[in-house]
Amino acid sequence: MSLRILLVRHGLSSFNLEHRIQGRDDLSSLTEEGLRQASATGAALAELRLDAAYSSPLRRARHTAEALLAAQGGGLTPQLDDDLLEVDLAPWTGLLSSEVRERFPEQHRLWREQPEALELQRADGRAYRPIPELLAQAQRFAARLLASHDPATPGGQTVLVVAHNAILRCLVLALLDLPASGFRRLRLDNASLSVLNVTPAEPGSARRFSVQIESLNGTSHLHPEVCAGQLPAKGPGPRLLLVRHGETDWNRQGRFQGQIDIPLNSNGHAQAAAAGDFLRRVRFDRAYSSSMARPRQTAEGILHHHPGVPLTSVSDLVEIGHGHWEGRLEQEIAAEWGALLADWKRAPETVQMPDGETIHDVWDRSLRGWNRIAAGLDAHETALVVAHDAVNKTILCALLGLSPADIWAVKQGNGGVTVIDYPDGADQPPVVVCLNQTTHLGGVLDRTAAGAL
């Protein structure tokens, strides 16, 4: 029982090409390149059965949805929904980005640094805040979507949503129950694909549904060659690529590993090689891994294409200590620690592993290690970081504005690639450029082993 939500931003538009502000006016149209991107996205989704498709009524999104669905081949037509309209930037609509920066310097600064605080004026003189208003709109759409496609329905459903940059970012925030201040932490490129999974919450949870980000801002499907030379472009400030180690035999078996030093299996080595091929055109200046074997072997597989890049072990990045659970299958743990295992699934922030760690322990040390790496990078540098499921999840939850209670909200596939930029330096808020990209491992969905976290 689950609901899979596929979020697609419209393809390249005429205003995107000209660097003009679009907002919710319907002045911008889909370019030939945007049409190609839409068709490529549809082809990448051809193996999926779509149960419904929704689109913004603005033509750049509507034409993207129509071209995508034609290429996907499922016979659907998009349902147009006004709650998917783009952010209302009426005073700026049609202006070049450079004109906004020159004519409205203080408002432009707020839009860039604290968009949720930006205040504009409507034609009638009334003041309004575009991002909080848009988040409320996204919350309305999310509520109606979940009512129409109940995640508890047997068999599961897959729903496509095609819209715009700002409204889709707000929809991610709405589904994760995050405030408007999280808006600038996210990035969504033209024709990018993001996948969210909604399932019934664990018994005893305060929420009705649990939401998991499977991936964010995937763009590899837009290129004939699956290669990270086509990752979203790096801007100013350092960039870090966070990778989960490849598969082990214990991942495949569903056995809790923790700090037992299990090496990669043959498939894990193949995943590391695939990640290395995917990342071969990225210029790495430095590389770091947990001091355990499985992330180190994964990092070495990636660095095969980058001779001369030093690999540094970081003890703060070792996997969570599961204590007495290590080496055991879930059913074995359930037999001896059934209530604690149920708490781990429902409220992981409350659990002390038997003779092991808490998620708060992992949160503190993994962020300490991550922040030290980020602070040591120059603005032009890119670093590779390879670690573990729990470690990566705590880092990403912190970067997204989530808490230790939310670790199940982030998926990390074996060999999956996440990109983090610090456009204003490592002491300023980061941007999650893309999350858990696994296209290099086959298809746009993450089909790697779930493991036993």
What gap in Å lies between CA 420 and CA 226, rounded to an integer? 20
**Rounded Cα gap, residues 397 and 188, in angstroms:** 18
H/E segment holding residue 65: helix 59-72
3-state secondary structure of 293: helix
| Cβ–Cβ < 8 Å for 359, 323 | no
> 186 phi and psi, to 5 degrees?
-110, 155
Phi/psi for 415 (5° steps) reads: 80, 5
Three-class secondary structure of residue 217 per DSSP: strand
Q: Checking DSSP bridges between strand 127-128 and strand 120-121, what pairing results, if any?
A: antiparallel
**Torsional sign, CA 287, 451, 397, 180:** positive
Rounded CA separation 31/174 (Å): 30
34 close to 10: Cβ distance less than 8 angstroms = yes
Task: Give the span between the Cα atoms of 408 and 403, in whole angstroms.
Answer: 11
Q: What is the Cα–Cα distance from 288 to 328, expressed in whole angstroms?
A: 29
DSSP state of 327: T
Tokens 């149209």 found at: 29
DSSP letters spanning 185-200: GB---TT-EEEEEEEE
CA angle 319, 323, 328 (to 5 degrees): 90
With b for 16 or more beta-carbon neighbours within 10 A and e for fewer, the 121-138 pattern comes to: eeeeeeeeebbbebbebb
99 catalytically annotated: no
Check if 113 is active-site.
Answer: no
Q: Where does residue 191 fall: left (phi above 0), alpha (psi -120 to 50 degrees), or beta otherwise? A: left
**Residues 32, 33, 63, 86: which is the catalytic one?**
86
**How far apart (Å, rounded) are the C-alpha atoms in residues 44 and 33?**
16
Cα gap 164→166, rounded to integer Å: 6
Count of positions (residues) in the chain:
453
Q: Which residue has the tokens 């004109």?
A: 99
The encoded tokens of residue 183 equal 């808006």
Residues ≥6 apart with Cβ < 8 Å to 193? 6, 7, 8, 41, 44, 45, 215, 217, 218, 219, 221, 444
User: Mind telling me the catalytic residues?
Assistant: 10, 86
